[in-house]
A and B are shown apart, each in its own frame.
Chain A
Amino acid sequence: MNILRLLLSSLLIIPLTTMAQDDLMDMLEKEAGETTVPAVATFKSTRIINGQSVETMKRNHLDFRISHRFGRLNSGAYELFGLDQAVMRMGFEYGITDDLMIGIGRSGEQKAYDFFGKYKLIKQATGARQVPISVTLFGSSVIRTQRSFVPGEIFAFEDKLTYTGQLLIARKFSESLSLQITPTYLYRNRPELPGDQRLLLALGIGGRLKVSRRVSINAEYFYAFRDNTTNLPYYNSLALGVDIETGGHVFQLHFTNSLGMIEKQFIGETTGSWGKGDVHYGFNISRTFSLDKKKKMVKN
């Protein structure tokens, strides 16, 4: 009987004690429940290449961004394949909340100042609450301050203004593949060339494919729905590039037929043709600063 009792007790206690560790972990897992996991880093940067991505700056973070586009590759060895010339855009971008950001920039091309805002309307998520896509709204206005080449001609203030509205719709299909479509509304109070329309609608498509954990290949194309296609020297914008991420920076290196780096210019006024070799090498570099004092003082 004693043996029986011992056997019984040991049989009962052994599985209980050996299971107990897993039980504790199971209890924690049960307690945690299923959470909603938002899709982070659909794109590495707030730009896919030239155009905006669904990403915004996080709250209290300031981004200083410098972009360059060099001259055309087909300008030959004398111009060092375009490297002798460069246009630049400098900009600051700031996150007011995690979903709302504002930005300001200045382009050498057309001496243009751009002001924009971006708001994350819908955020892709999995888990407890499933959302298949992310949608971000983008709006900008541009003041072109370059003087007329025609002596004596002075532009009225309204004539210098251009407006852009975009719906950025993206889905992160997997850790490596993200795609975005970008319906675009572009309104120029005074188009650059006579005969061009004031209102230009366009559709952008872009994406990124991660080839390693820190490098991705990006592509972007904007189709402009232009009425007058015969007399204007404009082409649709196509850009191909790579994103390289190094700790706190993202470097974007690319080739594009567009010289401008703001919507009005690359969607509406691209004069280069890939077919003729009118391709510009370019890069975007950004550095993000956290201005969040409270969070900086994280205790160890």
Chain B
Amino acid sequence: MDINKLERSIGILLTFLIFTGQSAWAQSTLYATSAGQTSFFSKTPVEDIKAVNKKTQVILNTTSGEIAVRMNMRDFDFPNELMEEHFNENYMESAKYPTSTFKGKVDQDIDLTKNGTYNLTASGTFTIHGKSQNRTLKGDITVKGGEILINSEFNVSLSDHSIDVPKIVFVKIAQNIQVKSSYSMVPYKQ
């Protein structure tokens, strides 16, 4: 009887500790930005296709290494507005698939509380145009003072994400689009 009571109270205590501990711990190790830069580039014989999204949202849990990236496709800014319209209307179908996301975890065990620059990879689900792929993306991460900077470069294959290139386009668009991202994050405040 007494032991049962003791066990129950330990159980409650444990539960309490785990919950409060988890949330306090989680709060202190989240880094985020809503002004991350994601750009892409594709070379064609006639003109280069490039665009930048300066409103990319990123959140990183430095303790667990989990990371989430989210952007609105309509926030991609093109030098030519007509191209931007075609990108949203025909290629990305932004009305149907408004966002692109990456949801993953840093593969290496790195202490992200220490200043320094680390090369790493992150694996997870990469979703564009409503089609998800499991990807491992390379990048480097710089911890300096209270800030964390992530830089990453990778390719996106159009066919992997069912992005059709029209047959009547005179200009050949490369199958692989080069993507660069740069996310400067500060401690996340709720």
Decide whether A and B assemble into one complex: yes
Contact pattern, A 1-32, Cβ under 8 Å of B = 1, otherwise 0: 10011001100110011001110110111011
Tell me how far the C-beta of A209 lies from the nearest C-beta in chain B, rounded to whole angstroms.
15
Is A1 a contact partner of B170 (Cβ separation < 8 A)? no
Query: 1/0 contact trace for A241-284 toward B, CB 8 Å?
Result: 00011111000000000000000000000000000000000000
Q: Are B89 and A21 in contact (CB under 8 A)?
A: no
Interchain CA distance A248-B70 in the complex, whole Å? 28
B24 interface residue per 8 A CB criterion: no
Complex: how many Å from CA A4 to CA B52?
53
Q: Given A13-B18, A290-B81, A298-B52, do A24 and B39 touch, yes or no (CB 8 Å)?
A: no
- A29→B11 CA distance, assembly (Å): 35
Which parts of A14-54 form the interface with B (CB within 8 Å)? 16-17, 20-22, 24-25, 27-29, 31-32, 35, 37, 40-41
The answer to whether B14 and A244 touch across the interface, beta carbons within 8 angstroms, is no
Residues of A within 8 A of B178 (CB): 300
- Interchain CB contact (< 8 A) of A8 among B14, B86, B105, B180: B14
Contact status A247-B15, CB under 8 Å: no
Interface residue? B134 (CB, 8 A): no
Contact call A1/B70, Cβ cutoff below 8 A = no
Q: Determine whether the beta carbon of B51 is less than 8 Å from that of A9.
A: no
A61 part of interface (Cβ distance < 8 Å): yes
B77→A247 contact, CB < 8 A: no
Number of residue pairs across A and B with beta carbons under 8 Å?
123
Residues of the B chain whose Cβ atoms lie less than 8 Å from the Cβ of A35: 72
Indicate if the CB atoms of B89 and A1 lie closer than 8 Å.
Answer: no
Interface residues on chain A, size class = 35 or more
Within 8 A of A (CB), among B153-190: 164, 166, 168-171, 178, 180
Q: Are B39 and A298 in contact (CB under 8 A)?
A: yes
Is the Cβ of A12 less than 8 Å from the Cβ of B19? yes
**A245 with B77: in contact, given A25-B70, A25-B103, A298-B52 (CB under 8 Å)?**
no
Contact yes or no, B70 A28, CB < 8 A: yes
- Which of A20, A29, A59, A246 lies in contact with B169, CB distance below 8 A? A246
- B64:A20 contact, CB within 8 angstroms: yes
In the complex, the answer to whether A299 meets B79 with C-beta atoms within 8 Å is no
Q: In angstroms, how far is the closest chain B Cβ from the Cβ of A28?
A: 4
Report yes or no: B68 in contact with A41, Cβ–Cβ below 8 A: no
- The chain A residue sitting closest to B58, CB to CB, is A28
What's the Cα separation between A147 and B22 when bound, in Å?
87
B10 and A1 contacting across the interface, CB-CB below 8 Å: yes
Give chain A residues whose Cβ lies under 8 Å from the Cβ of B140. Answer: none
B11 to chain A: which residues have CB within 8 Å? 4-5, 8
> Across the interface, do B168 and A24 meet the contact criterion of CB distance under 8 Å?
no
Closest Cβ neighbor of A38 among chain B residues: B74
Answer whether A31 and B66 are a contact pair too, CB < 8 Å, given A61-B81, A245-B86, A298-B79: no
Instruction: Indicate whether B95 reaches chain A with its CB closer than 8 angstroms.
Output: yes
| Contact residues of A between 172 and 201, Cβ < 8 Å to B | 175
- In the complex, the answer to whether B170 meets A40 with C-beta atoms within 8 Å is no
What are 12 sample pairs from A and B whose C-beta atoms fall under 8 A apart? A4-B11, A9-B18, A20-B64, A24-B68, A27-B59, A35-B72, A244-B168, A246-B166, A247-B86, A298-B39, A298-B78, A300-B39
A-B pairs, top 5 by smallest CB distance, nearest first, are A24-B68, A58-B81, A290-B80, A28-B70, A28-B57
Chain B residues in contact with chain A, CB under 8 A?
A: 7, 10-11, 14-15, 18-19, 22, 26, 34, 39-41, 47, 50-52, 57-59, 61, 64, 66-68, 70, 72, 74, 77-83, 85-86, 88-90, 93, 95-96, 98, 101, 103-105, 124, 164, 166, 168-171, 178, 180
Question: What 11 additional pairs, Cβ within 8 angstroms, besides A21-B105, A41-B85?
Answer: A13-B18, A20-B64, A21-B66, A24-B61, A24-B68, A31-B34, A58-B81, A175-B96, A245-B90, A246-B170, A247-B86
